Structure 1
Amino acid sequence: MVNDRVMEKLEILSDAAKYDVSCASGQSKRANKDKGLGDSKGYGICHAFTEDGRCVSLLKILLTNHCIFDCAYCVSRRSNDVKRAAFTVDEVVDLTINFYRRNYIEGLFLSSGIFDSPDYTMERLVRIAKKLRIEQNFNGYIHLKAIPGASEELMKEAGLYADRLSVNVEMPTEQSLKLLAPEKNHLDVIRPMTYLKTEIAGHREEKLRNSKAPVFAPAGQSTQMVIGATKESDLDILGMTNHFYNQLNLKRVYYSGYVPISDDNRLPSMGTPVPIIRENRLYQADWLLRFYGFAFDELVGANQPNLDLDVDPKLGWALRNLDQFPVDINTADIELIKRIPGIGFQSAQKIVAARRFRRLQAEHLKKMGIAYNRAQYFLAFSRPFARQHDYTPLQLKQLILTLQKSKYKPNFSAQLSLF
C-alpha cells in the first residue's frame, strides 16, 4: 500500500521527469465515476517500444529533483523555486514492485538530479536496480540514467543490472553547454559514453564465447539533446547525432524542444517556444540516418543548415535531387526505392518481394498502402517515362503541399498556380 507521503513525492518527481523525452510520456488523468473500474492519475507512467515493436509501460520518475547544478534550461536547477522531494532507495523499489504486481507497468525509467556528487547519486541508482534484480527477482525492463562524472566502477555495475543506460549530452555543442551550464564539463558526458561503448561490445563478445557470461546493458545506450535553447543549426545537431551513431554506437538520440522556463537573457524569450514541427523534422531525419541509408550531409549542409519545416527531410532531399528520378520500381535496388518520398521501409520490402511475381503498376502500389499522392511524381513503371510537366523543385513542392493534408500545416484554400 502506498502512503500519502510517497504519493506526494510521486506526483512531484514524475512531473519533473516529464522533461526527459527518452521515452514518450503518458500523463492521462481519468477519475473513477459512478463506481466504475479503476482510475488513472497519470503519475509517471510512460511508454517505450521494444526491439520487436511491443509497447511497454514504464514507471518514469526522478530519484530526486534536488540538484547541485544551476543549468539555465533545467526546471530542477538549483536556483529555481520549485517544490523539492527525494525518494529513498526502498521507496522506489517498493513503488516499482507494487505497480508491477498491479499490472500498471512493465518496467522502470529512473533518472535523477545530482545531490551531493555524481558518485553519491549514481550509487543510489545502482542500489535500486540491484535490489530489484537480486532481492526482488525483478526481470522487467530497467532504464537508468548514467550520471556524468560518476566513476567507471559504478557505470560498470549499473550496466550489469540495467537494460539500457543513457548519458544525456543535454546541449548539442560544447560551447552551448559552457554558456548555459558553466559548472558542467562536456568531457564528463563523452567519457562515460566511450566507456559504455567499450563495455557493451566486450560483454557481447564474451557472451558469444560463454553463454553463461553476464549481460551488460543489452538494450545499449542512448542520449538526449535540448534543441532551441541555443542557436545551433540542424546541421550542428545532426552532425553530433551522426557522431554518436557511427563512433559511439548509440541506439537512440532523443531531441527535446526547449520549453521556456525563465527570463534568463541567455535563453529564448518566454513567448518563443521551439516549434514542435522542428522536433518532428529532427526525428524524421534521425530515422533516415538509422534505417534508410542517408548520410547526414545529404539532409543538411552549408547551403541549407536547417531542415525544411514545410516538408519532411526525405521529400526535401528528393526535391534537391530531381535528376535521380523517376525511379523504376521494377528494377531499382531496395536502397534507392527506400529514398522515394511516400515509400516507407516496410513498403520498400513489399515492393521488392512482390515484383518477383509480376511487373508492378500504380494500382499495385496503392494496395500496399504507400503515400501514392506524394510518390507518384518520383516513380516509373518499366516503360518509357515522360513527365506530364517539367516541374521545377519549387513548383513540385508547392503542388505536393497543396494536395496533401498535414496536422502541422493548414491546407491551401485552392491549388496554387504553377505556371
Structure 2
Amino acid sequence: MDYNRIREKLSILADAAKYDVSCASSGSNRKNNSGGLGNSTGMGICHSYTEDGRCVSLLKILLTNHCIFDCAYCVTRKSNDIPRAAFKIQEVVDLTINFYRRNYIEGLFLSSGIFKSADHTMERLIAVARKLRVEENFNGYIHLKSIPGASDELMYEAGLYADRLSVNIEIPTISGLKLLAPDKRHEDFTQPMNKVKNEIIRYKDELKVNRHTPKYAPAGQSTQMIVGATGESDRDIMYSATHYYRNYGMKRVYYSGYIPVASDDRLPALGSQVPLVRENRLYQADWLLRFYGFSVKELLDEQKPFLDTDIDPKLSWALRNMHLFPVNVNTADKQLLARVPGIGIKGVHTILKARKHRALTWDHLSRFQLALNRAKYFITCASPDVYHRDREAGNLKELILHQSRSKYRHLHANQLSLFN
C-alpha cells in the first residue's frame, strides 16, 4: 500500500467533507453480540466539534470529490480548480477498521461527489458499507449520504447496512435550486427520501410481527440546507424544514451557513460567510418547533421574516406576547410552562411533578434546573412577587441582555484569574 498516496487522498477528501454538518450519530442501537468489531449502542459513539461549532465526529470523508455537476455553492463543483482524488472501496474499508482499532473513531460518515451517474456512485458507497458489515463484521456506526437520483432498489439496500441515511436538500426552495444547481431536479432529492421513509415504516410494522426482521436505517434519515446562498428568509427556511419533518419523517434537519468556496455570478454578493449566530438561531427555532409546541407563524411572519440575532427565539416570542405573562408555576399548564424563557422541557417536568406535593416558592424553584435569572421575569409562585417591577418589553429585553453580558464578563474574568 502506498501510504503517502493514501495520506494525500485522506487530506483532500476529509477536507472536502467538512462542509457537511449532518453527521450526528444519535438514534442507532446496533448491538455487537456476535464477536464482531465495534458497537454503536450506549456510549459507543463519541462526538467532537470544531471551534466554529461544526460536528467532525466519526471518520468523515468523501469517496471522491470528482463530480459531474456544477452547483454554484459547492467546493467540489466540476468547474472549480481544486486537487481531485478518489478512494478505492477497499481503501475506505481499511481506513475505517485501522482507525477504529487505534481508537481514533467509532464509526464512518461517508459521502461522495457524483461521478458517472447517481446509481454508479451509490453502488460504490453501498459496497463500502457491505464490506464493513459482512466481511469485517463491523458493528460500529455507519452514516451514508444518499445520492440524489439513486434508484429505489439501491436506497433499500443502503438502509440494510447503514445506521442513518441522508439526502441533502441543499437549497431550501425549488427556485433557489434551479438558480444555483440547474442540472439537478427537486424530485431527485425527494424520491430517495420518500423511499427511505416508506421502508422505515415497513420495517417497524414487520418488526411487530417478526423480531428478527433485518434492521433498516435504525437511526432514520436526515437532511441539510445551505443557509444564505440564495435570498431565502429564516421564515422560508423554517417552513421548508417543517415540510420535511412532516412529510418525510426526518430525524433532523441541519442548517449550514453558506461559506464562499468559489466565485460565481449566480451567487449573491455576500462578501463573507453567513454568521454562525444565524445557524444557531435556526437550530434554536427548530428545537422549539419540534419539542416545545411552537409553530412557524408564531416565531416568524411577513413583518418579521428573520430571527433576532441578539436574543433567542423563545425570549423574542415571549417579549412580543407579554400579555400572557407572568404565569403561575403552580397552576399553568404544561404547554404554557414550556414557553417561559429559562424553563426547558426537563424543568417543566420537574415543576409538574413537584407541585403535586406542595405549593412551589422561589426557594423551591432555585433548587430546580432552571435559568431562574431569566425565568423570574415571566413567572409567579407561592412567594411574594418581587421581580416584576418593569414589565415593558423593551426595558426587560435590555435588562436581560445586560445581565447576560455581566455574567459573561464575570465568567471571563474568573477564567483569566485561573490562568494568572
Q: TM-score range by the shorter chain?
A: 0.7 to 0.9
Bigger Cα displacement from structure 2, 67-76 vs 399-408: 399-408
Aligned residues: 388
8 A Cα contact 2:292 2:335, kept in partner: yes
Is residue 2:394 matched to residue 1:394?
yes
8 A Cα contact 1:146 1:166, kept in partner: yes
Q: Deviation per CA, 1:34-62, whole angstroms, max 9, x where unpaired?
A: xxxxxxxxxxxxxxx98889635411000
Cα gap change, 1:173/1:107 in structure 2, threshold over 3 Å: closer, same or farther? same
SS at match of 2:377: helix
Structure 2: runs of 5 or more not aligned: 26-39, 48-56, 412-420
Counterpart position of 1:110: 110
Is residue 2:312 matched to residue 1:321?
no
Letter in 1 for 2:283: Y
Letter in 2 for 1:138: F
Letter in 1 for 2:62: L
8 A Cα contact 2:326 2:378, kept in partner: yes
Counterpart position of 2:72: 72
Letter in 2 for 1:314: K
SS at match of 2:223: strand
Q: What displacement does 1:268 show?
A: 3.4
Q: What displacement does 1:24 show?
A: 6.8
CA RMSD of aligned residues (A): 2.4
Counterpart position of 2:278: 278
Q: Deviation per CA, 1:343-372, whole angstroms, max 9, x where unpaired?
A: 112222222222233222223222223211
Cα gap change, 1:10/1:72 in structure 2, threshold over 3 Å: closer, same or farther? same
Cα gap change, 1:74/1:408 in structure 2, threshold over 3 Å: closer, same or farther? farther
Cα gap change, 1:15/1:132 in structure 2, threshold over 3 Å: closer, same or farther? same
Cα separation, 2, equivalents of 1:95 and 1:88? 11
Counterpart position of 2:268: 268
SS at match of 1:404: helix
Q: What displacement does 1:303 show?
A: 2.0
SS at match of 2:376: helix
Q: Deviation per CA, 1:58-92, whole angstroms, max 9, x where unpaired?
A: 11000000000000100110011110100000000
Q: What displacement does 1:271 show?
A: 2.6
8 A Cα contact 1:220 1:250, kept in partner: yes
SS at match of 1:55: coil
8 A Cα contact 1:245 1:251, kept in partner: yes
Cα separation, 2, equivalents of 1:272 and 1:133? 42
Counterpart position of 1:31: none
Cα separation, 2, equivalents of 1:51 and 1:326? 40
Counterpart position of 1:301: 301
Cα separation, 2, equivalents of 1:407 and 1:97? 46
Counterpart position of 1:252: 252
8 A Cα contact 1:239 1:296, kept in partner: yes
Q: Deviation per CA, 1:4-39, whole angstroms, max 9, x where unpaired?
A: 2111111110000000001379xxxxxxxxxxxxxx
Identity of aligned pairs, percent? 61
Q: What displacement does 1:259 show?
A: 0.5
Cα separation, 1, equivalents of 2:186 and 2:59? 29
Cα gap change, 1:175/1:122 in structure 2, threshold over 3 Å: closer, same or farther? same
Cα gap change, 1:2/1:317 in structure 2, threshold over 3 Å: closer, same or farther? farther
Cα gap change, 1:50/1:402 in structure 2, threshold over 3 Å: closer, same or farther? farther
Bigger Cα displacement from structure 2, 309-318 vs 257-266: 257-266
Q: What displacement does 1:390 show?
A: 4.8
8 A Cα contact 1:58 1:108, kept in partner: yes
8 A Cα contact 2:121 2:147, kept in partner: yes
Letter in 2 for 1:327: V
Once the two structures are superposed, the pairs formed by residues 7-406 of structure 1 within 5 Å of their partners are: 7-23=7-23, 55-56=46-47, 57-269=57-269, 271-382=271-382, 388-405=388-405
Q: What displacement does 1:203 show?
A: 0.8
Cα gap change, 1:406/1:256 in structure 2, threshold over 3 Å: closer, same or farther? farther
